[in-house]
Structure 1
Amino acid sequence: MLKERTISRERDMSQVANFYKERFGCAHSHIAKEINKATSLIIVIPIFNEPDVISTLESLKACHLPNDPVEVILVINNSENGKTETIKQNELTRQEIIAWLKKNKTPKLTFNLMLENKLPAKHAGVGLARKIGMDEALYRLGKIGKNGIIACLDADCRVDSNYLETISGLYGQGEFTSGHLYFEHPLEEEEANIREGIINYELGLRYYVQALKFIQYPYAYHTIGSCMITSAKTYALSGGMNRRKAGEDFYFLHKIFPLGGHKTFNKTCVYPSPRISDRVPFGTGRAMGKWMDMVNACKKSDKMPEYEYYALQSFLDLGKFIAAVPCFWKYADQEIEKIMADLPRS
């Protein structure tokens, strides 16, 4: 009986992956190497113009290995009209990864390298790169009929030594759907102004989520791409990752939240880099760049820069709207208009 249920689950996951591939997925699988049938966790890392991805690989290698084997999919990516310097850096990164992989072979932690340097200019970016890698992870898990876990990480992150064990341990424990890992930006080695900026930025992120919880917004979770984890089936049923050039994590997770079961896991930690970056229109790197611009501008006037964020009143006003939403399903249009008229104008 147990064998029959196992076969049924395998067929079910294989069908889910195939259906996704036909409706939402990338046209074909990229990795020819067979996946170990015991694999239950695949980590996807998009890489673009990244000078220090080896530190991330070393961080993963230093982790305690779980019982089941783990795969890592590295997606080096660029636009079809990418700049010369990013093309050169991507090639240098590719060579560094290949050299590192030759020296660091671990049977239970395997790395697959994908080169996607000719992505359509209209869609090229972190969203499409994540999608390519996450789709591939889904196809590979589908081949072995496993509703395994797909985890996202960025190429400038470090992780706790129990990172792999913690995520892998979620497989088979009840009906895991999706989650978000705890995060902290590293402070020890940063210059004073960068350290102050990233502290303000991270406090802003935490204030945002806590304010959403306070007004009882139902999906008050962090939405940081390098901390996302999802079951293969949840990924497929949600329609997969989008192709946005920035904010892809926010929009992807807000498709998943309504499916239920999303949780925050605090027993391990991801350490995103606080570095300045202009690779995406917004996010940590861009926010740090703006902060340093303010720091440099204030040096001329001997004033300290101030970090601005959403006023609490804006959340309180939003909370009144959220509290009124259930009424929209009960009342006639005239009564709804009266409710709307009484809401804050902000």
Structure 2
Amino acid sequence: MIALPKLPPPAPALRMCVTVPAKDEAEYIRATLQALHRQTDARGQRLCPELFEVILLANNCSDATAAVARRFSADYPDFRLHVVEMTLPGEWACVGMARKLMMDEAARRLPPGGIIAMTDADTRVDRQWVHATLRAFDRGARAVGGRVIVPPSERQGYRKIHLQDVTYRSLQTLLESMIDPRPADPWPRHFQHYGPSLAVGVAEYLACGGMPPVKCIEDAAFAWALERIDVEFVHDPSVRAYTSDRDSNRIDGVAFSKSLNEWTRMLDEGRQPVVFGLQHCIQLYKWKVALRRAFYERRIGGLPALPHLAEYLSMSQDELQRRVVEAPTFGALYQDIRQLLERTHAFSDAPFPEAIRDLRRFTRSAWTRRASSKRPAGSDLPAAALVGQTL
């Protein structure tokens, strides 16, 4: 099995290991490392260098990525940076394997309760990124997704749909927090847990089987693995990273840069993405609440939303009951049902402008009603009260 070469021993105070895959990133890597080196606490004081370290894997490079990183390390000897240069063979030459090698090594190096983090070689994390991530774990997080921001650049063709996508998903998240409030991930929160900013506890990393060594969307595959063992992400808005919108073909398969290219083509052709409209979003989160209750009670009886769900999926109630009873975790159950819904073409029924307009109106109205409620501060309206229907 492939493994990283032996690294220097970890510092006694080490709490977080940041992993950075880098393939031909000589143009970007110094800025990425500079952002990690300049980490401060909430008062602007530099963090203790022994709290975190960075493992950078320069894999299959044909440029000076490793040399640039080593020069940076020499310039800042107090920065705990481990530069590893490897050529991954054949089918192992992919971003998923690069991440897995580093994260597996991080799991071995960190103490119990340690944190494995990831970012990208074209990303600059916020100056309090490490501090904010550690704080979220100190408050009980088991996994943390950071807010990923794409600053404006000369590449503008994709930007209108990108901003619509961010707006839509943010409104979706607000709606979900109203219908299905989660104490572990309270509002205000964002919706992202992707490669430029993601962190997980060592125990959770090992429990989910680790990073899948896949060629693309490895961050999404990893997040799905965590969901399937009921590890919820905390989406703390204070954990932020700024990533590049460059046009790149270095990933074989689905990638962020390819999504930007597709959005550019859609704008040029006058097309719009079609997404879940307001009513389907409401229905999805109602079903999620009902499925959670059914999972813990191991029965679908007494939950009127679930016969409707079975009918929508052309599934018998007996089959849905079987899925509820046999699911190993709630996360696995909900993930499987949501994937069935996402493959149902009719569930995506609204172009971005319409979906955004309806979600904005509904959440603004519901939030106003909620704020004017005489309920004690901090209480949550149940889903039934929010949408005027029972589960």
Pick the TM interval, shorter chain: 0.7 to 0.9
Moved more, 277-286 or 191-200: 191-200
Q: What CA distance in whole angstroms lies between the structure 2 residues aligned with 1:276 and 1:286?
A: 8
Give the TM-score of the pair, scaled to structure 2. 0.65
Aligned to 2:16: 41
Aligned to 1:93: 65
Q: What CA distance in whole angstroms lies between the structure 1 residues aligned with 2:177 and 2:34?
A: 36
Question: Match of 1:103, as an amino acid?
Answer: D
The correspondence of residues 59-98 of structure 1 with structure 2, limited to 5 A, is 59-64=35-40, 65-67=46-48, 69=50, 70-78=52-60, 87-89=61-63, 92-98=64-70
Aligned match for 1:199, one of 150, 154, 163: 163
The correspondence of residues 101-140 of structure 1 with structure 2, limited to 5 A, is 101-105=73-77, 107=78, 109-121=79-91, 123-140=92-109
SS at 2:131 equivalent: helix
Moved more, 220-229 or 64-73: 220-229
Q: Deviations over 1:251-287 (max 9, x none)?
A: 2123324444532222241112222223332232111
Q: Deviations over 1:195-219 (max 9, x none)?
A: 4353234334435544655664979
Aligned to 2:288: 322
Deviation at 1:137, TM superposition (A): 0.8
Moved more, 263-272 or 131-140: 263-272
Unaligned runs of 5+ in 2: 41-45, 315-345, 347-391
SS at 2:80 equivalent: strand
Unaligned runs of 5+ in 1: 1-25, 79-86, 299-304
Q: Please say if 1:161 is aligned against 2:127.
A: yes
Deviation at 1:244, TM superposition (A): 1.8
Query: Contact 2:147/2:241 (CA < 8 Å) preserved in 1?
Result: yes
Aligned to 1:84: none
Query: Contact 2:287/2:306 (CA < 8 Å) preserved in 1?
Result: no
From the superposition, tell whether residues 208 and 35 of structure 1 become closer, same or farther in structure 2 (CA, over 3 Å): same
Aligned to 2:202: 232
From the superposition, tell whether residues 28 and 321 of structure 1 become closer, same or farther in structure 2 (CA, over 3 Å): same
Aligned to 1:13: none
Moved more, 257-266 or 226-235: 257-266
Aligned to 2:6: 31
Moved more, 275-284 or 226-235: 275-284
Question: Match of 2:62, as an amino acid?
Answer: K
Q: Please say if 1:283 is aligned against 2:255.
A: yes
Q: Please say if 1:269 is aligned against 2:235.
A: no
Aligned to 1:151: 117
From the superposition, tell whether residues 318 and 40 of structure 1 become closer, same or farther in structure 2 (CA, over 3 Å): same
Query: Contact 2:96/2:213 (CA < 8 Å) preserved in 1?
Result: yes
Aligned match for 2:31, one of 48, 51, 55: 55
Q: What CA distance in whole angstroms lies between the structure 2 residues aligned with 1:337 and 1:160?
A: 43
Q: What CA distance in whole angstroms lies between the structure 1 residues aligned with 2:16 and 2:117?
A: 7
Give the RMSD, CA atoms, in angstroms: 3.2
